[in-house]
A and B are shown apart, each in its own frame.
Chain A
């Protein structure tokens, strides 16, 4: 499986969750996929500029970023960040011809082609949180669910609000940066109202920002409402844990 792949980690992963990019690299290693990364040449994709209403600065930045990516001549760009993914797919006309993939695409292909050997083991009851940029804004609902249901010891249960009805983790629209108290409270409610009735062991998602917010939400909900302690995993992390 060769993609001629450029791995784009995105700002949130690089600065706030570097262990996640480590996990992506590890998974690519397991799959034997060669890839390159931009290192310090990787700049923000500019998506937050769009969220702030700064379309002008965005266009300038996107032109630069497009040049850098194109200079690598990759066949595909892979990112684990739904924000970057949505941004590349929708607002980067200059990348046309280069395939843009989210990590859920990569994992789904790997599962389908039998490239992943699941270790089995203790039963894990999980639910899946749809990141807004991946679900509602990009229409990727089935891939992560198909991945999860194909893992032998994983049981997937759905929240009453899921897929297009999913409750945002609270971090979207730069709210995590602009009004953090409100942003976190949304995550607390998500854990308390949507997740805790399911009695799951873990929440799986596929977005570094959702992970940050849901982890905050989970620990506050545990403290204030006594909800059960939860593991919050990116799907990449989960796959690494459960495969050889």
Chain B
């Protein structure tokens, strides 16, 4: 009997034979593992940081309503706007409205998985707004019309050679497979966009409630440009990102960075607290000096409240999106994150997808896990993804989404006393 699972296995099979992916993941896996370990070795207080980070996140999720309220009040008092979007549609509508009211022609974007989650780009483009991704990896996959394959490294499924081919095609002239040259091209092409953009859209790595500050981590400098050059900045993020204080936010950034990229510190950490302002002339408050005059924060629920209230899955909302669990996952190492995702990838992605996009979309993700526990062991927050994966598999069975092939294994056990259907 053919099922969606057979079709999905076909996709996996193609990925296993994808030569570009094979090389890209081989290079990535070796480099990531050694860089990350070296960084952790150089952080004598890493265990202190990550244990404290877990305490902060645990407390924050317990007090999320209070933190949201505080964030809203602070941002509004700074002259910004705050909007809590119930779901993807609500968030897209709100952002589109902001753009349309400002007659926006061009929006530049810093990397944001939440905008992937809600398919924001597609919606804005439909309204005739040009959307340009400015993170190098995101820009590459935007040129290729692909989705991100990793929450930290969106284009990690590609080799330098393949990126050069993409650039050559886009520019209509031969570009050599040389990272320095490729980066140079991105710098030149994107610079004008930053200046011309009407809107800058960013995500948030962490949000501090007591000041309404957004913390953004990056190395390229594109986030600084995107959130600084355009007259309007829209920050859109999941509501679970809020912690009580700026100090907490910075501490969490110290846990994200080594796990994400193997650095002790990123090149840039931006702390943004409302729109740009001055009071240099007679102490008269004026908004929008060199940075944006307008600042809008959109926080997204889209299943998150449900996740936070569910004792079986609450832990998934402690995730600080460092990507370590994907980067050293044995399954990810083989198939990457294009096939093994709806929007979010891998094991932790299966949990997220269940709440943001539904159980049916999470089914293939949850069934591709070896439940080996590698993710839990590397996760700085000690999130027990494998146990949650089994809980999702329970839900799948109850919802009739478990493929017949897997049901037959269970039937074998019940009928023959072994999973193979062998006669004793």
Contact = CB atoms under 8 A, between A and B. Distances in A.
Listed residue (B12, B29, B370) with the most chain A CB atoms within 10 angstroms of its CB: B370
A170 B373 CA distance: 12
B16 A178 contact: no
Contacts of B335: 182
Contacts of B30: 193
Contacts of B184: none
Interface in B324-348: 328, 330-331, 333-335
Nearest to A55: B394
Contacts of A173: 369-372, 386, 389
Interface stretch (B72-80, B198-206, B261-269, B408-416): B408-416
Interface stretch (A29-37, A43-51, A107-115): A43-51
Listed residue (A46, A55, A168, A190) with the most chain B CB atoms within 10 angstroms of its CB: A168
Contacts of B417: 11, 42-44
Interface residues of B, number: 49
A132 B334 contact: no
Listed residue (A137, A174, A183) with the most chain B CB atoms within 10 angstroms of its CB: A174
B160 interface: no
A51 B419 CA distance: 12
A159 to B, nearest CB: 11
A150 interface: no
A136 B413 contact: no
A136 B377 CA distance: 8
A40 to B, nearest CB: 5
Q: Which 3 A/B pairs are nearest by Cβ-Cβ distance?
A: A53-B393, A168-B372, A172-B370
26 contacts: A11-B419, A16-B420, A43-B418, A51-B371, A52-B409, A53-B397, A54-B394, A54-B410, A136-B372, A136-B374, A160-B33, A167-B330, A168-B330, A168-B374, A170-B370, A171-B370, A173-B386, A174-B406, A178-B409, A181-B13, A182-B12, A182-B335, A186-B333, A189-B330, A190-B330, A193-B30
Interface of B: 9, 12-13, 16, 26, 29-30, 33, 328, 330-331, 333-335, 367-374, 376-378, 386, 389-397, 402, 405-407, 409-410, 413-414, 417-420, 422, 424
Interface of A: 11, 14-16, 40, 42-44, 46, 48-55, 57, 61, 132, 136-137, 160-161, 164-168, 170-175, 177-179, 181-183, 185-186, 189-190, 193
